[in-house]
Amino acid sequence: MAIDRWRPFATSVEQWNPFPEIQSEMNRLFDGFFARPRAIATGTESRAWMPVVDMYETKDDLILRFELPGVSEKDVSLSITDDVLTVKGERSFNQESKDDHAYRVERAYGKFERSVELPVPVQADRAKATYRDGVLEVRLPKAEEAKPKEIKIDIL
């Protein structure tokens, strides 16, 4: 069903369909909220992306794993400021041949930056990072005050 838009100074009535505009705005809203890459309308538009992360803790360490497929370890940098770990880098677009015509390019390329607030105090100077099969693992030893302490209960 189409809605006719009334235009007081127009010579004819034109049809107006609000649904494509609403759908486009809803997609943009959800893409921004869930940090999904935007669809590319032209080949020159840049796409935002950021790596996903898993974070968990053991008795002694806080461990973060970032998925960075297609990113070289030399293109990644890490920094810790106060209680925030930041991963920066870039995934390059390598087109093999200038004569190829792409039918679909859905993977995002370009620079990224991901900052994660750390839930417990850590010893930043003892941090260790390893990179294997497109996964960056960062091990952060917990600060002594963050480690659980057992308290012995005396029975009287």
130 domain-assigned: yes
What's the pLDDT at 37? 46
The CATH number linked to 66 is 2.60.40.790
My answer on whether 81 and 120 are in the same domain is: yes
Q: What is the pTM of this model?
A: 0.62
Mean pLDDT of the chain: 78
Q: What's the start-to-end Cα distance of the chain, in Å? A: 81
Same domain, 40 and 111: no
Residue 38: predicted pLDDT: 46
Per the structure, the count of domains in the chain is 2
Q: What is the pLDDT of residues 101-151, one digit of tens each?
A: 777 777 788 889 999 999 999 999 999 999 999 999 999 999 887 667 777
Domain that holds residue 27: 18-44
DSSP string, 63-113: EEEEE-TT--GGGEEEEEETTEEEEEEEE----S-TT---S---S--EEEE
Angle, CA 32 vertex, CA 24 and CA 93 arms, to 5°: 95
Same domain, 29 and 86: no
